[in-house]
Amino acid sequence: HCFCYCFKHLYFQEKRENIRSLTMSGHVGFESLPDQLVNRSIQQGFCFNILCVGETGIGKSTLIDTLFNTNFEDYESSHFCPNVKLKAQTYELQESNVQLKLTIVNTVGFGDQINKEESYQPIVDYIDAQFEAYLQEELKIKRSLFTYHDSRIHVCLYFISPTGHSLKTLDLLTMKNLDSKVNIIPVIAKADTVSKTELQKFKIKLMSELVSNGVQIYQFPTDDDTIAKVNAAMNGQLPFAVVGSMDEVKVGNKMVKARQYPWGVVQVENENHCDFVKLREMLICTNMEDLREQTHTRHYELYRRCKLEEMGFTDVGPENKPVSLQETYEAKRHEFHGERQRKEEEMKQMFVQRVKEKEAILKEAERELQAKFEHLKRLHQEERMKLEEKRRLLEEEIIAFSKKKATSEIFHSQSFLATGSNLRKDKDRKNSNFL
């Protein structure tokens, strides 16, 4: 196998080296391809989806408003939510001739529960649900990916409380469960509540904890020479310490976005006060397309690969030979057919066994009923014989009674006749005496 691989590698390398480079003698026009792509993209528009993860009241909505210089519709959340819910809002934005479909996904009630053990699970489920929706669209026979609203999360802004100490266990667990599914950019919220010295120490401590716990946050790409230097410098500035505000305060002769305090003014867009400008430049101006690309080529591909492997699809067979989708489908179909036949046979055997058990139960019940019937029949016969005996005795008593009755009547009639004759004799005697 190693020999074949080396041979193929050398063959294709030689084939690439044999590609001829030609110099054209005139203008053809395919140099306009980048311009065509730009025009096509502008007509189609772009989408960008941001997931904001952080405790209630930490300033997520204010920062998003400040990032896009827009007052998005949002409602204050309560601190008494029984569980974490995700609320998504989509907006159509336009800057110059570029249209952007922006989706803001907010975590309502994150960190407000007493038991925070599974606070991250609804977030993981939501991200997976968006991947699953895109995968199902891809697997359709008649796809419409060109007009499909891509709801996959492109970046997760994870808001860290400015405690000045260390990351909470909930923060580590959540980022650890999200780093393989989404591009995470950690930000320290309300950075104006910590002094500069403490903030710098807090940043170093946070990055050390993230590295020691194996949390992979998004690194700005350095493969493009035009932005490699600035991205490398910004990677050393993570996590960004930000302040958000839509209030305008007069500083000198101009109005700036800032937060007014009794001791002074914190300017949002002043890099000496916070990292808001750095975050906006890195997130929107420089690396938005890379975030979209990383979501598709890295996180979605990982989800897609795992899902297809769960379904039994592989790129190579048992002997490390390439396997086509049709072959895998046929193999899975045969496997499914065999599994179905096996289950059918098991169900048939189970059915036959249950029928036999039911027949045995019915036969036993029938025997019991027959025995009961015979017993009742025997009792009936005995009762009938007793009744017949009583009837015979009753008839004999009736006959005897009839005989006694007849004898009594004869005796009574004889007594009556005798009495009558005696009366006549007495009467005749009296009459003769009278005469």
Q: What is the pLDDT of residue 33?
A: 82
| pLDDT single digits (tens) 75-93 | 666 666 777 888 888 988 8
Q: What is the pLDDT of residue 5?
A: 37
Q: What is the pLDDT of residue 187?
A: 92
With 80 as the cut, is the pLDDT of residue 271 above it? yes
Find the angle CA(243)-CA(248)-CA(253) to the nearest 5 degrees: 115
Mean pLDDT within 315-327: 65
Q: What is the pLDDT of residue 366?
A: 92
* pLDDT, the chain, mean: 83
| Cα separation values, 32 from 35, 37, 39, 252, Å | 5, 9, 11, 48
Q: What is the pLDDT of residue 435?
A: 54
Q: Is the alpha carbon torsion for 68, 40, 282, 180 positive or negative? A: positive
Mean pLDDT within 53-63: 87
C-alpha to C-alpha distance for 359 and 16, rounded to whole angstroms: 76
Q: What would the two tokens of residue 290 be?
A: 């890379």
Please, are residues 275 and 63 in contact by the beta-carbon 8 Å criterion? no
Mean pLDDT within 414-430: 72
| Cα separation values, 270 from 158, 203, 276, Å | 22, 19, 8
With 80 as the cut, is the pLDDT of residue 314 above it? no
Q: What is the pLDDT of residue 12?
A: 46
Q: Which amino acid, 323?
A: V
Mean pLDDT within 2-15: 42
With 70 as the cut, is the pLDDT of residue 7 above it? no
Q: What is the pTM of this model?
A: 0.70
Mean pLDDT within 360-384: 92
Point out which residues pair with 86 in neighbouring strands: 107
With 70 as the cut, is the pLDDT of residue 13 above it? no
| pLDDT single digits (tens) 22-53 | 777 777 777 788 888 888 888 888 899 999 99
Confidence tier at 152 by pLDDT (50, 70, 90): very high
Which of 9-13, 95-99, 332-336, 363-367 shows the lowest mean pLDDT across its residues?
9-13
DSSP string for 306-361: HHHHHTT--SB-TTS-B--HHHHHHHHHHHHHHHHHHHHHHHHHHHHHHHHHHHHH
With 90 as the cut, is the pLDDT of residue 183 above it? yes
| pLDDT single digits (tens) 164-175 | 777 888 889 999
Q: What is the pLDDT of residue 362?
A: 92
**Interaxial angle between packed helices 121-139 and 169-178, expressed in degrees from 0 to 180 and rounded to the nearest 10:** 10
